Each structure stands twice: as structure tokens, then as C-alpha cells.
Amino acid sequence: METLEKMTPKICLGGITKEYIAPRTGQRTLAIADVSLDVFQGEFLCIVGPSGCGKSTILNMIAGLARPSRGELVMDGKPIRDPGAERGVVFQDYALFPWKTVRENIEFGPRYRTAGPLSASERDRIVRHYIDLVSLTGAENKYPHELSGGMRQRCAFARALANEPEVLLMDEPFAALDAQTRLILQEELLRIWGEELPRAARKTVVFITHGIDEAVYLADRVAVMSNNPGHIKTIMTVDLPRPRRESLRATAEFQKLADAIWQLIRHEAYEATIDRH
């Protein structure tokens, strides 16, 4: 893996704090506190941690869907204040338009992009490219309710990628899928991301997950979060060879990394399952 120390961060979170205030009671809840994190060009960064530690809050702020209460959040040196086409988001529940076909869902971004209109032939070229890339050829005219969960998530990938964003933000995209489909789509995601390409040619990915094995399999680095309030406990480098193969999961190196992350969050993950109220 290429070293990151001398690179300029693509995304920089500097002392981010997010506080929520209940509108009726005025009660304050500190979701995350003093989170600092650099994400580099072409990096696949996973964020893991116990339930309620603020993983999705961080992703939503990078996406521009929420603003920090305090701290600085920038991409390429420019403040992030709102959503932007340079940041694509893939959600757990797919968020596809149910009244649109696979083709129409994927075409939505190219059709309505803010950078200027594209010709019908150029839109068709982009849509065809991403349909082929995510292996949905033959399903172009199906509606979301006609697709399996895995196919819906492939469509969600393609729709996000068709905007040609520089950064891909993924909020537990495989959480609703069965175990077999998850394993298949993890491999597919790395292929779609282009893990064999040079770092400069890859998109930057921030991926939220509860799955420790999933994080180790996918990531270049794993940011491990703690809660009450949410903060980053440590960042672990996944110094495993790419391209990642299924056989990697059975190696001692893989298991050692996964166990180290589990030991960091085990107690808080247990506490999150207990109702103290």
C-alpha cells in the first residue's frame, strides 16, 4: 500500500463536533466530539464502531446533509456546506425511485446534472457504461420491485457513479442483504471501485459498516470509533495485498486485524445492547 504521510488530504475533518437540540425540551445531545480525520485521494476508508457512536453523522456531514456544530470540514481545501455532485451517496435502503426503471434511475444524475446538459447520446453512453460495470445488462427496463436486494444495490451503485463523483460515501450499503449476497457484493464493489488501478485513478471511498470482517476486507484504513460522545479511538492500517481475494479471509493476518478491532469496541458494543432506562 502506498504511504499517505506525504499526501495532501482529499477530505479533512478538523475538530468536528455535532450537537443536537430537542425542539420541544431543549435537551442537548452530543453526538460526536472533536473528531479529526484525513481521507486521501483514492483511499478506501471504513468507519466502524458500536451502535450510536456517530458513524452516520460523520458521513452525513461529509455529504453536506448536515453541518457540524463546531469544527472545520473541507474537501480539496474548500469548506463543505451543502450536498454536491462531486460527492455521491449510497444508502442502506437503496433510495431508488420506485416509479423509474433501472435505466431511468441511473440516468437521473446525468439528465439533471448542474454542470450543464448532456446530449441524449452522451447520456446513453454513460448509462450503458455503468449498467455494464455493475453487471445489470438485461435488467435495464425492470423496476426496483422486480429486482433482488443485490440487484437493487448494484443499481444504487450505478446511479451514484453515473454522476461521476470524486468521492463515494456509503452508509452500510450491505446491511439489509443476506450473508451470501454481502460477500459477493464486497468483491464486486472492489472491482467496480477499481482496486487494481493507480491510487490517482480511483475514487475516494468512505464506507460505514458494523461488520468488522467487511471493513478489513475492503479498507486501506479502518477508523475505529467509540461512543458517549462519539469520537475516533484509533485508525488502523490494513496492510493486506490488493487485489483482495476470498482466500484472504482465512489468513492469520486477516484474522489478527479483525480481532484487534473487535477487542477495541467489544465492551461498548455489548453496552449498546443493554437498555439502561
Would 225 be classed as within a structural domain? yes
Compute the half-sphere exposure of residue 112: CA atoms within 13 Å on the CB side of its CA. Answer: 8
**Residues 59 and 192 occupy one common structural domain:** yes
Is residue 277 pLDDT above 70, yes or no? no
Q: Which of 134, 164, 194 is the last residue of a domain?
A: 164
Q: Percent of the chain, pLDDT > 90?
A: 77
pTM of the model: 0.91
**Beta bridge pairs of residue 235:** 223
Would 133 be classed as within a structural domain? yes
Whole-angstrom distance, CA of residue 215 vs CA of residue 240: 12
Would 6 be classed as within a structural domain? no
Spatial contact of 170 and 208, defined as CB atoms under 8 Å apart: yes
Query: Where would I find the H helices in the chain?
Result: 55-63, 102-112, 120-133, 149-162, 179-193, 212-218, 252-271
pLDDT band at 4 (very low <50, low <70, confident <90, very high): low
Is residue 267 pLDDT above 90, yes or no? no
**Residues 267 and 178 occupy one common structural domain:** yes
pLDDT score at 117: 73
**Residues 215 and 159 occupy one common structural domain:** no
pLDDT score at 247: 94
pLDDT score at 226: 92
**Residues 100 and 152 occupy one common structural domain:** yes
Mean predicted confidence (pLDDT) in 10-31:
91
pLDDT band at 193 (very low <50, low <70, confident <90, very high): very high
**What SS3 state is found at 5?**
coil
**Residues 170 and 246 occupy one common structural domain:** yes
Spatial contact of 106 and 130, defined as CB atoms under 8 Å apart: yes
Mean predicted confidence (pLDDT) in 267-276:
70
Would 30 be classed as within a structural domain? no
| Residue 244's CATH number | 3.40.50.300
Domain residues for the domain of 120 are: 96-164
